Amino acid sequence: MPRFAQMLATGMKERGHSTSILMPAPHFYKLPIPKGKKKWMGYIDQYILFPQKVRKLLKNYSPETLFVFTDQALGPWVPLVADRPHVIHCHDFLAQLSAIGEIAENPTSWTGRQYQGYIRNGYSKGKNFISVSEKTRKDLHRFLPTQPKISEVVYNGLNQAITVSDPQLARNKLSKAFGLDLINGYLLHVGGNQWYKNRTGIVELYDSWRLKGGHNLPLLLIGEAPHDALLQKRLLSPFKDDIHFLSGIEDKTVRLAYTGATVFLFPSLAEGFGWPIAEAMGSGCPVLTTNEPPMTEVAGKAGFFVPRRPKETADAVQWANESANVLNKVINLSTTDRLATIEASVANAKRFDTHLALDKIEAIYYKVIDNIKQT
């Protein structure tokens, strides 16, 4: 969210607007107290001290000032400016859906359900929304008590330069950087340890593919250091020596990894958007992802799709087996078909241009202001 907020602030400044970013300061959070209580101190900073600060600042803002919330999770602050021009950007409603029991893989505690209800009560006071996908907008409308005045979809813009370059050159550089033999290619995943990223499922898929006689290609998982369950999954793999977790990798190296990958694996259980899909495609890498929105929205006709991994272990085995067949198909594309896939992928990724996204967002911001002037 900080990166998204900075993108909005910078983009609007470039378009001639005056911007400032308001956020809670860590007063109570900085107190020397046990780590387990830090979260609660943060809540005091966010939901008691910060609203008081905002109420004082509101007196200095003109009636035409637009207040932008970079995520619906900031809902508790929406009532502060609900009667002023405002826009709420919505990324995903996974926590909200989990709180009402609709995502079995992510059960929510009682306190978590109360907190999500608090967030929902806040953003429900909003009137103008911008969602990052049709899936997110659909979820938003389920949670809102009434139809909003404005509800638009603007796909995320890639916030870094993504280009197509020589995959063999990328593999050579990465082989030296990581101390691995990547010359003949590799499978790649980029993501964190969030439950919906399905990193354990990726290892299951990889194992199944290798057991079917798949090429001796390593699997690279770039992102957070693996949690214990993921480490255990790797240890149990007959191909554990070819499964590599890479953390603390710079953005420029991640871009190289996209370029050199044989296939990008992104079988997420859920997403709000799925930036890595667009990043991989823009780098000229074929993408295998889940056949549910918003992954289907982002990948378009250029992607290769597998079902969502089931929660039950027995069903997950069958999922990995069937998904491995799709992966094998992608890896063994003819030269002509692979080039056609790369061309389609690059063309698809052009939909996610930052400047185009900011132009659309600015137009919606103007629309909100105009609506206020007319009332």
Which structural domains are found in the chain, ordered by start? 2-157+354-374 (3.40.50.2000), 167-349 (3.40.50.2000)
Residue found under tokens 């185009």? 356
Provide the residue-wise pLDDT of the chain in tens; the chain has 375 residues. 778 898 899 999 999 999 999 999 988 888 888 888 888 898 899 999 999 999 999 989 998 899 999 999 999 999 999 999 999 999 999 999 999 999 999 999 999 999 999 999 999 999 999 999 999 999 999 999 999 999 999 998 886 677 888 999 999 999 999 999 999 999 999 999 999 999 999 999 999 999 998 789 999 999 999 999 999 999 999 999 999 999 999 999 999 999 999 999 999 999 999 999 999 999 999 999 999 999 999 999 999 999 999 998 889 999 999 999 999 999 999 999 999 999 999 999 999 999 999 999 999 999 999 887 666
Report whether the peptide linkage leading into residue 294 is cis, meaning its omega lies within 30 degrees of zero. Answer: yes
pLDDT at residue number 375? 62
Compute CA 234 distance to the chain's CA centroid, rounded to the nearest angstrom.
24
pLDDT at residue number 159? 66
Give Cα separations from 50 to 9, 56, 147, 161 (angstroms): 20, 10, 29, 35
In b/e form, how buried is each residue of 221-256, taking b as 16+ CB within 10 angstroms? bbbbebeeebeebbeebebeebbbbbeebeeebbbb
- pTM above the 0.75 mark? yes
| CB 275, CB 343: distance < 8 Å | no
The SS3 of residue 336 is helix
Both tokens of 227, joined, read 């949690």
Residue found under tokens 């290609």? 217
Residue found under tokens 């990889």? 206
How many CA atoms does the CB half-sphere of 39 hold within 13 Å? 4
How many CA atoms does the CB half-sphere of 224 hold within 13 Å? 12
pLDDT at residue number 372? 74
| CB 180, CB 257: distance < 8 Å | no
Terminal-to-terminal C-alpha distance of the chain: 32
To 5 degrees, how large is the angle CA 161–CA 166–CA 171?
A: 100
In one letter, which amino acid is 119? I
The DSSP bridge partners found for residue 88 are 69, 129
pLDDT at residue number 164? 85
CA distance 70 to 149: 18
